[in-house]
Structure 1
């Protein structure tokens, strides 16, 4: 049995993805077989070779080029901006995994700003039954009042059940059988929902009622309001608290442990050392900028809540 794991990556994120891949390989069991695939549009041959070097007899590393035609309907428009300030197509790649890889009935997707602290096979072995996917509640937003309000009033969802899309166990067969991508494209093109977290909001809405909520140890995120999880399985340096930019980030020791045995270690340490306090202040301010959407989306006659009230079928 092959355990398929996917990342979506742009070339400038290679050094962080290398840390995540290194951690995954270090904690993988020789008793299993893993295939790690990097979905990309611009990954250089040099960076592909550097990532491929982490492979061993039971962890195989592959690369898949995302065709421009596939994602063409997803336009560089303000409602698709990540964190309200820039557009990146790579956040949407995860949605296409089931259709692009029909050989897999189940697959794992993880963001590149992660480290895997336990055997990822344990994550894969969760029984999805008739759920569309498994994920963890987004712990990073539970103390952010504007985000909680946005989820309640704009998305018309329960914030305690709102998942983070940085780690997903996909029921790929159900995605294909129930034509997830067709439904996603219909909603995207008809309503142009203005989202704070574009791909994440679509997954929460379409999967509403059919999400398997996993132990939070599988998507542990730095949080200034809570104590760290004692035995995380996967750590996700979500939003702006990156250990290569901030020195006091929760769980940063895990990142540097795995970074130290990659060819990017010195470069990463240099990035941390050269990052200025002004840049850190600007990073923190980006959260406020991101949340500015809450007020405008609440008034949008075609926001998620309003569209659902009008009778549109949003969830599968």
Structure 2
């Protein structure tokens, strides 16, 4: 049986999403895969939260270990309502010293297949593997201002971490130098800056974002300029659906929201009240000035051109 270490980092507000995410992973995997799941939790994770997550894995080949993080990230820069728990991933190699390679994933995802093949990817002398950020072209000036190349900027929502090499080179000391800098994309920027030119680019199926899905129908040339048709096909059928950005399936309508709800309904977190409230938001959407401006911005950038 293949043992697969995977890490999620959350605070109390994302326990439900973590549970749904983990359920989709275990349900989509085969019996030859055993998951060592590690939850890097903020100090607001309760015993009830832990018990609910333990219930998720009861009938599967998996175990969960909870690691309560200390206060070293309490004063880091936060933006767009993204909590400090996003920075926890920077410490993964030091927190789990027995592994040479470790998988990290955000929890706003749904898995469509297992991760048995990921650990076979050769990272060589690179610090980690990640997926090229398909939306990077929209922020190219910002990325260039960081001293980075747009076509080499990765999305940190799914990472294959070369833990042994990061420990050997004391990489967390480099990460720490950037913790209080006001980067627009926080730890994702830090990872791209520190690991510049030491990145392995993973197939699209390991982080198939809403943006990628949208481009397939609205501007396929742009998507195929970054990823091959074979990569895109694999992403559709077996890829990890990443609900990046502000549109989340538990708050309203978004691309492939039904995939998330399929697992939410099967989970111990299911609530009829939340189901009704979300359905109401979809049926009677609220158009704020912010939403209208975002749609206009996307149109001007060409995201909806054929």
TM class, shorter-length? 0.7 to 0.9
> What is the number of residues matched between the two proteins?
271
Q: Distance in 2 between matches of 1:271 and 1:121?
A: 37
Q: How does 1:136-285 map to 2 (within 5 A)?
A: 136-142=131-137, 144=138, 147-152=139-144, 154-188=145-179, 192-223=180-211, 224-227=214-217, 229-247=235-253, 249-266=254-271, 268-275=274-281, 277-278=285-286, 281=288, 284=291
Q: Which residue of 1 aligns with 2:101?
A: 106
Inter-partner Cα distance in structure 2 for 1:127 and 1:219: 18
Contact conserved, 1:130 with 1:210, CA < 8 A, in 2?
A: yes
> Equivalent residue of 2:236, what SS?
coil
**One of 50, 53, 56 as aligned partner of 2:52:** 50
| 1:52–1:62 Cα contact (<8 Å) kept | no
Unmatched segments (≥5 aa) in structure 2: 218-231, 296-306
In structure 2, the residue corresponding to 1:265 is in which secondary structure?
Answer: coil
Q: Which residue does the alignment assign to 1:300?
A: none
CA distance in 2, matches of 1:165, 1:52: 26
Deviation per CA, 1:215-262: give whole Å up to 9, x if none.
111101112333385224211100112112232x22222212222211
With CA pairs under 8 Å and 6+ residues apart, which has the higher RCO, 1 or 2? 1
Decide which moves more: 23-32 or 167-176. 23-32
Name the CA shift for 1:119/1:160 in 2 (closer, same or farther; >3 Å).
Answer: same
Q: What RMSD over aligned residues (CA atoms) do the two structures have, in Å?
A: 2.3
Q: Deviations over 1:68-107 (max 9, x none)?
A: 2x435xx24xxx2233xx4621010000010011011110
User: 2:101–2:162: 8 Å Cα contact kept in structure 1?
Assistant: yes
Unaligned runs of 5+ residues in structure 1 are 289-316
- Distance in structure 2 (CA, Å) of the matches to 1:213 and 1:172: 17
Taking structure 1 as the reference length, what is the TM-score of the superposition?
A: 0.79
2:65 is equivalent to residue 93 of structure 1: no
Residues 235 and 138 (structure 1), Cα distance of their counterparts in 2 relative to 1, 3 Å cut: same
Q: More deviation in 96-105 or 32-41? A: 32-41
Secondary structure, in 3 states, of the residue corresponding to 2:116? helix
| Counterpart-to-counterpart distance in 1, 2:55 and 2:82 | 30
Note if 1:133 corresponds to 2:128: yes
Task: Report the more deviating stretch, 218-227 or 203-212.
Answer: 218-227
